[in-house]
Amino acid sequence: AGQVSLVENMALNATYPQILTEGGDDRLILNKKGTNKYHCTPKPIVGSLFRGSCTCNIPTETAYQAAEAAFYSLRSGEISVGDIMEGVRSRIKSLYDLPAGTEVFLCPSGSDAEYMP
């Protein structure tokens, strides 16, 4: 068996709702109302429409269910974090019809990224 990454270890030892609000900075911590510093919940609000934001969003039902399925697939060992990230990269390449040899880099936020050719 290979080494288990920190992210994979967290997935093995946390519940799905817990993993949505832990492992980051204080912006993820929920207050007594169940919202974070941006007044967002980690669960969908059924029947509501939210405009996108690069800082914080309430997940759609589809996104929440997809993330939950990925969480349990990770937890059971059916798939690895690397497999999930490669799937995301492949879908982005396909959606943008990127030429062969183009690489896609995934970062937690734009302020965490720096491109140096």
pLDDT in tens, the chain (117 residues): 456 666 666 656 778 888 888 877 888 899 999 999 988 899 998 888 777 666 788 888 999 999 999 999 988 889 998 999 999 999 999 999 999 999 998 887 767 777 777
Residue listed under structure tokens 């040899």: 101
pLDDT of residue 8: 62
pLDDT of residue 1: 46
pLDDT of residue 108: 75
Residue ranges of the domains in the chain? 6-78
**Side chain identity, residue 107:** C
pLDDT of residue 103: 93
Around Cβ 9, how many Cβ atoms within 10 Å? 11
CA dihedral 19, 69, 48, 95 (to 10 degrees): 110
pLDDT of residue 57: 84
Q: Is 107 left (phi over 0), alpha (psi -120 to 50) or beta?
A: beta
What DSSP letter does each residue of 30-78 carry, written as one string? --TTS--TTS--SS--TT------SS--PPPHHHHHHHHHHHHHHHHTS
The answer to whether the CB of 40 falls within 8 A of the CB of 58 is: yes
pLDDT of residue 116: 76
Residues contacting 116, CB < 8 A, separation 6+? none
CA distance 103 to 5: 23
